[in-house]
């Protein structure tokens, strides 16, 4: 636990330094640009930092890394990569919230809502919500560039060129897959009616794998490991561990999106239901519902729900047995992940830490 | 002219190959992702390719480059960088069109309008315009990542590490500045009333410099030159040439945004006027208007304009003398640019080609 806290502190420092550096570089553009930089800093102060932790552990799976020493070239490179992942994630969330019309994030108004409110308070011209949209698109674009710069800095700092190239490959694949995965997720919500069960489950699972599981766990791990010069066997082992952890992570997210405590998740209760997300949880629920009940369920999903309607949907999901099934899937995936580390060619202390982090990712309540 | 055509052909080939490679890599995500890839290809088939040309010429200013030879490592790297700039520009335009609520681009519906139309035709659920927005944000994000990959490939292919690092620096600065410049541009449109003349001109000029001049000409030139291993004197000379060319380029754009032939520009006539863009042209117009006329001008600017109102604004701008003043500024900037090449430490054949391209960028009719 000491290491998690220490890493979180180092990441926060480095993020603040990064934004400060950009603030200085952008000074010639005048003080009007400040809201972008201020919001970047505030937004990035939040979050669970799972990606940063997995990246650091991916590195430690291959090479020792002492978080307590002075930050030199090697630790600096790992921190840059980890911060790059956090910035990229922030960019993705800011754009996602526009796309999903989410009003809150991490317990605060989402970025487009913040820029919208600023516009309204100042009695500016034109539509406040459209200004909010513009601010969120541009801040997301900026953070995406800065994320890439950080990853680049990490790659440049290390002497092993082929290791750097591998890390870039994983980062690039991740970026493409998460954008397309998000597109497929949005697409699902547009198509009227559901596919028959087997196909729908396949579609929900595909979104889960590409939009979240690979992105949240497997890719950060592999980027960290590649930077440390991992060989193929090590990368394979970490992928075999990372993918099921990522699946468990997202299945937990699906449960939290329906049953989570708004105080802890920072998102309104039943958020996923109002958005009409076709998660694995929803797909498993529908499989077990009698036709009439399924029709009612389908009609409510993806509409503006009041508290009572959210409660009805929650009860339906629970009574269908889908919650237990998803909990079983989570447990099975964590077991599979832990199993993949048995006898794997990764450093023992890192394997232990990875198992612990897998548990935390799968059991979290926010 | 042969070289321009040859370069355009090579760029088009490389863009098609790039998107094809991504299409293959994304195959595991299924056929639903195709619209993103198809639109990437179609969108990128258009455009004037100024950035690609300036990048290639920036390289040739420092090292010879034979476009007629088989594409080997060196030419391949230059093409990757040039294509990277074209992809980045496509991403920026796609996001800009959302932000500026533009319905057309390059004579076709803008990307968010295309996705919106697809949604409507298929009678999907939910709001078609919001789906259009989602598609445009995500396609922009994808192209931004792919742009970066191409630039990375260019840097990795060349043996000179410090040259690659310089090229990255220019690319990174460009990305930050253009996003913030675009934010400042949007901000201008929100603020009620204009600042007094000198301050307003400073603000309009700042947007012009950061959102366009540096981005369209100076940065591509410097990226190309850096890849070729330019020294400081060479970079300085190219910056002294590139910035005024970029200013002339954007001043021409301002004129085309008001007086351009819609058939040629691919944008509706008077587009900038309806958007309320506070260009240098508009600022110079207002300076010379008597108070009453200025009030009428201000009231019309940034509203839904019919053909007649566009004609009124065009006449006002012309009669204020602002068009001549902007034409003079263009000529002065082109002269300054050409002057900067006199005796500059750049290769002679490239200097001649640069002067020609500067003229084309400044005199174009689309």
CA distance B255 to A8: 52
CA distance B80 to B70: 15
Mutate which: B26, B96, B190, B276, vs A, most A CBs within 10 A: B190
Nearest to B104 by CA among B276, B266, B269: B266
pLDDT of residue A1: 61
Q: HSE (CB half, 13 Å, CA atoms) of B133?
A: 21
CA distance B17 to B24: 11
Give the closest of A131, A140, A192 to B186, CB-based.
A131
pLDDT of residue A270: 84
Angle, helix A232-259 to helix A307-319, in steps of 10 degrees: 130
CA distance A335 to B128: 43
Nearest to A129 by CA among A145, A140, A144, A118: A118
CA distance B195 to A32: 14
Q: Touching check for A195 and chain B: CB below 8 Å?
A: no
pLDDT of residue B1 exceeding 80, the answer is no
Residue-wise pLDDT for A125-164, tens only, equals 889 999 999 999 999 999 999 999 999 999 999 989 999 9
Give the closest of B22, B137, B302 to A98, CB-based.
B137
- Structure tokens that stand for B302 in this block: 């940034």
Contact residues, chain A, for B119 at CB < 8 Å: 190
pLDDT of residue A267: 84
CA distance B219 to A109: 36
CA distance B169 to B155: 11
pLDDT of residue B187: 94
Contact state of A168 with B152 under an 8 Å Cβ cutoff: yes
- Structure tokens that stand for B234 in this block: 């060479």
A122-161 residues touching B, CB cutoff 8 A: 123-126, 130-131, 133-135, 137-138, 140-142, 144-146, 148-149, 152, 156
CB atoms under 10 Å from CB of A257, counted, come to: 21
pLDDT of residue B264: 86
pLDDT of residue A241: 98
Nearest to A51 by CA among A190, A150, A159, A136: A150
Question: Quick one: average pLDDT of B237-243?
Answer: 97
Contact residues, chain A, for B22 at CB < 8 Å: 176
**Residue B352 burial (C-beta neighbours within 10 Å; 0-12, 13-18, 19+):** exposed
DSSP designation for A54: H
Q: Touching check for A175 and chain B: CB below 8 Å?
A: yes
Contact state of B176 with A142 under an 8 Å Cβ cutoff: yes
- Structure tokens that stand for B183 in this block: 């934010």
Cβ atoms of residues A204 and A279 within 8 Å? yes
Give the closest of A22, A124, A176 to B190, CB-based.
A124
Domains of chain A: 2-363 (1.10.600.10)
Contact state of A206 with B30 under an 8 Å Cβ cutoff: yes
Mutate which: A183, A192, A243, vs B, most B CBs within 10 A: A183
Identify the closest residue of chain A to B135 by CA–CA distance. A183
Question: Quick one: average pLDDT of B217-224?
Answer: 98
- B318 to chain A nearest CA, in Å? 27
CA distance A320 to A290: 10
3-state helix/strand/coil string of chain B: CHHHHHHHHHHHHHHHHHHHHHHHHCHHHCHHHHHHHHHHHHHHCCCCCHHHHHHHHHHHCCCCCCCCCCCCHHHHHHHHHHHHHHHHHHHHHHHHHHHCCCCEECCEECHHHHHHHHHHHCCCCCCHHHHHHHHHHHHHHHHHHHHHHHHHHHHHHCCCHHHHHHHHHHHHHHHHHHHHHHHHHHHHHHCCCCCCHHHHHHHHHHHHHHHHHHHHHHHHHHHHHHHCCCCHHHHHHHHHHHHHHHHHHHHHHHHHHHHCCHHHHCCCCCHHHHHCCCCHHHHHHHHHCCHHHHHHHHHHCCCCCCHHHHHHHHHHHHHCCHHHHHHHHHHHHHHHHHHHHCCCCCCHHHHHHHHHHHHHHHHCCC
**Residue A303 burial (C-beta neighbours within 10 Å; 0-12, 13-18, 19+):** exposed
Mutate which: A27, A148, A158, vs B, most B CBs within 10 A: A148
Could you give the 3-state DSSP secondary structure of residue A66?
Answer: coil
Q: Touching check for A168 and chain B: CB below 8 Å?
A: yes
- Structure tokens that stand for A210 in this block: 């590409």
Return the higher-pLDDT residue of B298 and B270: B298
Mutate which: A29, A243, A275, vs B, most B CBs within 10 A: A29
Contact state of B156 with A175 under an 8 Å Cβ cutoff: no
pLDDT of residue A353: 95
Residue-wise pLDDT for B230-239, tens only, equals 999 999 999 9
Nearest to A246 by CA among A277, A212, A222, A221: A212
pLDDT of residue B339: 96
Q: What is the mean pLDDT of chain A?
A: 95
- Residue by residue, pLDDT tens for chain A (366 residues) are 678 899 999 999 999 999 999 999 999 999 999 999 999 999 999 888 999 999 999 999 999 999 988 999 999 999 999 999 999 999 999 999 999 999 999 889 999 999 999 999 999 988 999 999 999 999 999 999 999 999 999 999 998 999 999 999 999 999 999 999 999 999 998 988 899 999 999 999 999 999 999 999 999 999 999 999 999 999 999 999 999 999 999 999 999 999 998 888 888 888 889 988 999 999 999 999 999 999 999 999 989 999 999 999 999 999 999 999 999 999 999 999 999 999 999 999 999 999 999 999 999 888
B271-310 residues touching A, CB cutoff 8 A: 302
Give the closest of B99, B130, B181 to A134, CB-based.
B99
Q: Touching check for A177 and chain B: CB below 8 Å?
A: yes
ipTM tops 0.90 = yes
Contact state of B183 with A36 under an 8 Å Cβ cutoff: yes
pLDDT of residue B11: 96
The alpha carbon of residue B118 and the mean position of all alpha carbons in its chain are separated, in whole angstroms, by 27
Question: Quick one: average pLDDT of B309-335?
Answer: 96
Contact residues, chain B, for A190 at CB < 8 Å: 119, 124-126, 131
Report percent pLDDT > 90 for chain B. 88
């Amino acid at each position: 636990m000491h290491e998690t806290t220490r890493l979180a502190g180092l990441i926060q420092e480095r993020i603040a330094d990064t934004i400060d550096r950009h603030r200085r570089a952008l000074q010639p553009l005048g003080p009007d640009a400040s809201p972008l930089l201020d919001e970047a800093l505030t937004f990035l102060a939040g979050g669970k930092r799972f990606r940063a932790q997995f990246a650091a552990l991916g590195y430690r799976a291959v090479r020792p890394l002492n978080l307590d020493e002075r930050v030199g070239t090697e630790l600096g490179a790992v921190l840059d990569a980890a911060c790059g992942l956090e910035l990229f994630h922030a960019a993705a969330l800011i754009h996602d919230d526009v796309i999903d019309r989410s009003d809150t994030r991490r317990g605060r108004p989402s970025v487009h809502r913040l820029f919208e409110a600023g516009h309204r308070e100042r009695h500016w011209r034109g539509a406040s919500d459209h200004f909010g949209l513009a601010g969120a698109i541009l801040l997301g674009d900026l953070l995406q560039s800065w994320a890439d710069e950080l990853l680049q800095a990490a790659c440049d700092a290390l002497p092993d060129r082929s290791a750097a190239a591998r890390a870039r490959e994983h980062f690039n694949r991740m970026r493409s897959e998460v954008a397309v995965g998000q597109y497929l997720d949005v697409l699902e919500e547009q198509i009227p009616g559901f596919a028959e069960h087997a196909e729908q489950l396949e579609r929900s699972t595909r979104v889960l794998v590409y939009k979240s599981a690979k992105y949240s766990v497997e890719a950060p791990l592999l980027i960290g490991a590649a930077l440390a010069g991992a060989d193929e066997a090590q990368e394979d082992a970490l992928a075999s561990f990372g993918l099921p952890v990522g699946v468990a992570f997202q299945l937990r997210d699906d449960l939290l999106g329906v049953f989570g405590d708004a105080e802890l998740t920072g998102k309104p209760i039943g958020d996923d239901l109002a958005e009409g997300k076709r998660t694995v949880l929803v797909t498993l629920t529908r499989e077990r519902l009698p036709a009439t009940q399924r029709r009612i369920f389908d009609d409510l999903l993806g509409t503006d729900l009041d508290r009572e309607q959210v409660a009805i949907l929650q009860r339906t999901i629970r009574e269908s047995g889908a919650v237990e099934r998803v909990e079983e899937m989570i447990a099975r995936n964590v077991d599979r992940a832990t199993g993949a580390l048995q006898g794997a060619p990764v450093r023992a202390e890192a394997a232990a830490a990875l198992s612990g982090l897998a548990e935390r990712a799968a059991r979290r309540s926010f």
